Structure 1
Amino acid sequence: MDSAIYALIVNAVVAGLFAVTFGIIRLSYPEQRYASWFAVTYLFGGLMPISELGVRSTPFTIPFMILSYGSFLLSLAMLLIGLASMAGRRRPWRAFTLLVVGGTLVRTAIWNGPNNQLLHELLFQSPYIAGSAMAAAIAVGAVRKRRDPLWLALGITLALLTLYFALKPFFAAAFGSGSDPIAHSTSSYALLSQSVGGVLVVAVGLVTLLLVVQAAMGQSIAESETDPLTGIANRRGFNRQARVMIAEARARGFPVAAILFDLDHFKQVNDRYGHATGDAVLRAFAGVLVDRLPRSAVIARLGGEEFVGLLDRTTLRGAWLSAQSVRATLPAIATHLPAVTVSGGLAVLLPDDDIDSLLERADRAVYAAKRAGRDRILPMPDPVQAEPLSLVRNR
């Protein structure tokens, strides 16, 4: 058994492993739908080395030649769809169609052409060059948008694959690729093609797999840090984001303020209207927080009817105004929901604070607001002691 056969077997096995791996990810993470395209990409890609083995081992070379060319062409076309989906772009069905149809027409036109001649070899490789170049362009576009080093690595790898396809015709013209399918399959050109091409295809698969796993892990983290009822962060997500905000605030020397909200008499809402209505109130209140607090705020539901907003570059006065905006909006939260009020407590970040101590002071302020009659925000900064609520509503 010569080296070329070993290379073909290894490439087929590796392609199969990639197909199975992407398939498992797709089944484990149903939202990662683009993993299906990568599974099919490597499933079809694995048919190419198998068909090359068929050319060597059977007298029926033409069917295997068609399968070899067509399977790899389809795998490149499907790679385009998968990469575009993973990058958040529209699926390039037009490019898919042009690549498959154009590649088929080119291969048909040169079917009986002279091997080892530069023009013939360039035409043979042209669909592969076009497909890998379009895939590289998708990766480069993702790099510009996401600034992700993995997308950069994929773009570089796909560019090398494009260069590889572009150089193959010159190598074939210079050293020969075999005058017929059997001679081709036993030539040094075939060994180089399967070895170098196999390495590059594996590299593309590995980087793509890392991107898919990264997205799946990101999805898992997001789900574990998101409150399923309201869609905002839960306590775990809040703690992680708050640590980042506090670290940046201390590094740059800007203030941070916390607002703790507690819906007043919320148990009565559940008792009187039912838990479905209570859940609707919680969702609506989360929407008010997202709408009324600054976009840079870290907003979370800590549990039950308790919510928090962490505001960067915000003093006590700024936090009070933001909290009052939420409180003033609440009566009009939704016409079909029962009227509710909210009590809020404020705390600003001190030099020796951590998240727990900051929230503890805000929690004490919430209890003070409830003891003072509820439906208010405490403490009140001195400059706004006499400011009418109507002015806050008009801000």
Structure 2
Amino acid sequence: MSVDLLTLYLLAIGTLLASAGLTVWEGRTYPKRGQELRILAAGYVTLALGCVAVMFRRDLPGISGAVVSNLLFLGGYLLILNGVAAFSGRQYRAFSIGLLVVMALIWVGGGPRWQDVVWAYVSAFPIAIASALTAREMLRCEGMEALHSRRIIVAVTGIHAALYLFRAIILPWLVLAYGPLVQPIAGKITLYEGVLYSVILPMTLLKLIREESHGHLLRESLTDYLTRLGNRRWFFEEGARVVGGRASQGPIAVLAFDLDQFKGINDLYGHKTGDQVLKSFAEIAQSVLGHKTVLARIGGEEFAALLVGHDALRAESLGDTVGKYFAETIATGAAGIGLRATVSVGLARYENKMPELIDILAAADQALYRAKSLGGNRLEVA
């Protein structure tokens, strides 16, 4: 079934304007990304205006219709580029203005004599550049690497860039080789792809924002608000993933930490100081054990760390180091506190028969209770 060009343009205009409305509304739902979504919505509206202009470009005098249409299209793609780049705090403002100026000068210089050439081939090149940079910026978006929508956006913008690069570089040679009939075929293919682009890209960008927001809420539900370590639920979920993902069997160890006489610190110095002590311990433990270690706050003043492989073999040394470093740092005031605080540590390590993670933690807890009963400020092995 063949669809006439007017219908395709009207379809593109309708989808772009609808996408702009949905994007602005989404910005109210997710205000954290409101600015980026407003830029994207402006891009969709500008592309829709470009479609309106191209429908009437032959009714305007001289080359003015082609110039306005092309610059509107290019402006829309550049706004989309800036919207995607804004996800990572980057912008292409000067680049966008410069590219629009260059394209306007090309129209002024070559448009009156070679209007069809500039419209069909030359004008496609900056659109290809803007789309390729959009794909690149989506690839560079920090914190979105695991989102499925990101890959779709990269594919859509990458294909769009490749199509316009084909129009700018390959199509002129095909027209010379096979005649001018190739040109309208290529134009219709571009328009069909443009309609798909106007539907898929905005909807996928909205899905990306929702995935990001959902991921943020999920991370917050698994994160301790005070220390920014994982919480008890995260410890068991991430621990199960780490243990189950090991390439081969090997030693596993769990270190259980409990701050000594913590209630006394709160009573004597206040809860604000107690919170500082907890945050200082979390920072010290993470610096000693490494950021890749599964380290979590699993209770009020209780923490746990899961170690595998080589780290599990030296778990006793690591646990001792955490305890000593914490006591020295708090006592000397290096953490901005300056009081006596110590930690008791329990260690459970397995090398062959592996129980469930909850059982390993229970064994470490038993060793921890023994360390507490012996006066604290020490490490005991299960």
Distance 1:297 1:42, change over 3 A: same
Amino acid in structure 1 at the alignment position of 2:107: R
Of the candidates 232, 236, 252, which is equivalent to residue 235 of structure 1? 232
Give 1:188 shift.
8.0
Separation in structure 2 between the aligned mates of residue 109 and residue 213 of structure 1, nearest angstrom: 46
Separation in structure 1 between the aligned mates of residue 311 and residue 204 of structure 2, nearest angstrom: 45
Structure 2 unpaired stretches of 5+? none
CA contact (8 A) 1:80 1:96 kept: no
Give 1:189 shift.
7.7
Separation in structure 2 between the aligned mates of residue 34 and residue 119 of structure 1, nearest angstrom: 32
Instruction: Give matches, 1:1-395, under 5 Å.
Output: 3-32=4-33, 34-52=36-54, 67-86=68-87, 88=88, 90-116=90-116, 118=117, 121-139=120-138, 151-168=150-167, 170=171, 174-175=180-181, 192-249=189-246, 251-314=247-310, 318-334=314-330, 335=333, 336-337=336-337, 338-349=339-350, 351-379=353-381
- TM-score under structure 1 normalisation? 0.79
Separation in structure 2 between the aligned mates of residue 25 and residue 76 of structure 1, nearest angstrom: 20
Separation in structure 2 between the aligned mates of residue 354 and residue 133 of structure 1, nearest angstrom: 49
Separation in structure 2 between the aligned mates of residue 67 and residue 330 of structure 1, nearest angstrom: 67
Give 1:155 shift.
3.7
Distance 1:139 1:315, change over 3 A: closer
Give 1:11 shift.
1.3
CA contact (8 A) 2:147 2:211 kept: no
Give 1:259 shift.
0.7
Distance 1:64 1:332, change over 3 A: farther
Separation in structure 1 between the aligned mates of residue 146 and residue 223 of structure 2, nearest angstrom: 25
Separation in structure 2 between the aligned mates of residue 140 and residue 370 of structure 1, nearest angstrom: 50
Worse-matched range after superposition: 258-267 or 24-33: 24-33
SS in 1 for 2:314: helix
Give 1:324 shift.
0.6
- TM-score under structure 2 normalisation? 0.81
Worse-matched range after superposition: 219-228 or 14-23: 14-23
Separation in structure 1 between the aligned mates of residue 65 and residue 156 of structure 2, nearest angstrom: 28
Give 1:205 shift.
3.4
Separation in structure 1 between the aligned mates of residue 27 and residue 299 of structure 2, nearest angstrom: 33
Separation in structure 1 between the aligned mates of residue 25 and residue 366 of structure 2, nearest angstrom: 49
Separation in structure 1 between the aligned mates of residue 131 and residue 240 of structure 2, nearest angstrom: 42
Amino acid in structure 1 at the alignment position of 2:163: Y
Separation in structure 2 between the aligned mates of residue 166 and residue 232 of structure 1, nearest angstrom: 47
Distance 1:219 1:101, change over 3 A: farther
**Identity, % of aligned pairs?**
24
SS in 1 for 2:369: helix
Give 1:110 shift.
4.1
Give 1:207 shift.
4.4
Distance 1:212 1:109, change over 3 A: farther
Distance 1:353 1:13, change over 3 A: farther
1:332-375 Cα deviation digits (max 9, x unpaired): 33414232111111112463522221211111111111111111
1:195-220 Cα deviation digits (max 9, x unpaired): 33221343343444444443333322
Amino acid in structure 2 at the alignment position of 1:79: I
Separation in structure 2 between the aligned mates of residue 120 and residue 75 of structure 1, nearest angstrom: 17
CA contact (8 A) 1:23 1:35 kept: yes
Distance 1:151 1:322, change over 3 A: same
SS in 1 for 2:180: helix
SS in 1 for 2:228: coil
Amino acid in structure 2 at the alignment position of 1:355: L
Give 1:148 shift.
7.5
Separation in structure 2 between the aligned mates of residue 255 and residue 309 of structure 1, nearest angstrom: 14
Distance 1:295 1:130, change over 3 A: closer
Amino acid in structure 2 at the alignment position of 1:358: I
CA contact (8 A) 1:55 1:61 kept: no
1:305-344 Cα deviation digits (max 9, x unpaired): 1111111215765111111111101123341423211111
Separation in structure 2 between the aligned mates of residue 137 and residue 17 of structure 1, nearest angstrom: 26
